[in-house]
Amino acid sequence: MPKRVETVVLHDSSTPVFGDVQKGGSVVLTSVETLISQARANSLWPVTFGLACCAIEMMATAGSRFDIARFGSEAFRATPRQADVMIIAGRLSKKMAPVLRQIYDQMPEPKWVISMGACASSGGVYNNYAIVQGADQVVPVDVYVPGCPPSPDALIYAILKLQEKIKRGRAKSFADLRLTELKPRTIEEVHA
């Protein structure tokens, strides 16, 4: 079994010359899986989806003061088919839960979820019949952000943690890469 090259190696002028490549250039060695993980982690596109007051903080994150573009996540998409991360910003009502699940299902694989704020993560102050007591009852959550509301800095920290997670989880083979996969579900299946 050949050993996988995990590190990035930069060579200087001592780099061997192949063909007509000019001597003195830089060479980067890595695996395809690492390269794809790096690309995915540094270009997370959130689906535009706000539920309550936490969404105001999420919007502030995209503004010039905090500038989420520094981490490659400024491209909020108006369609789930172009997004790979869902930020659940605010309390999730039981009426909204099937809609959230449908939007999640319409996002192509691979996809990730950030639960932003106490309400999304646990129901928060809304311990009543109308609010889902944790968004992870509806979709799998990768990162939870505490607070009411969490500051934009906290959301940026969550994105950085998600990036770390994505970089750690390398695809095992080309078959596992699955660059696009859509599994549309009917609303009846979501309610079932």
Residue 141 Cβ vs ligand SF4, minimum distance, rounded to whole Å: 15
Question: Alpha-carbon torsion 141, 101, 47, 184, what sign?
Answer: positive
Residue 86 Cβ vs ligand SF4, minimum distance, rounded to whole Å: 16
Binding part of the chain for ligand SF4, among 4-12, 46-54, 74-82, 154-162 by CB under 6 A, reads 46-54
Residue 112 Cβ vs ligand SF4, minimum distance, rounded to whole Å: 20
C-beta of 119 vs 141, nearer to ligand SF4: 119
Q: Which residue is associated with the tokens 């007509």?
A: 20
Among 118, 139, 143, 158, binds ligand SF4 (CB under 6 A): 118
Distances (CA, A) of 45 to 86, 92, 103, 108, 191: 9, 21, 14, 12, 27
By CB neighbour count within 10 A (0-12 exposed, 13-18 middle, 19+ buried), where does 13 fall? exposed
Which stretches does DSSP call E strand in 82-133? Answer: 85-89, 112-116
Query: What is the footprint of ligand SF4 within residues 161-180 (CB under 6 A)?
Result: none
Query: What is the footprint of ligand SF4 within residues 133-152 (CB under 6 A)?
Result: 148-149
Distance CA(109)–CA(111), nearest Å, equals 5
C-beta of 110 vs 117, nearer to ligand SF4: 117
Query: What is the footprint of ligand SF4 within residues 48-67 (CB under 6 A)?
Result: 52-54
Does 98 sit behind a cis peptide bond, omega within 30 degrees of 0 on the bond before it?
Answer: no
Binding status of residue 123 toward ligand SF4 by CB under 6 A: no
Q: Are 107 and 84 in contact (CB under 8 A)?
A: yes
Nearest alpha-carbon partner for 5 in 39, 27, 35, 29: 29
C-beta of 110 vs 124, nearer to ligand SF4: 124
Binding status of residue 119 toward ligand SF4 by CB under 6 A: yes
Among 37, 84, 91, 100, binds ligand SF4 (CB under 6 A): 91
Catalog residues that contact ligand SF4 under the rule CB under 6 A: 52-54, 90-91, 117-119, 124, 148-149
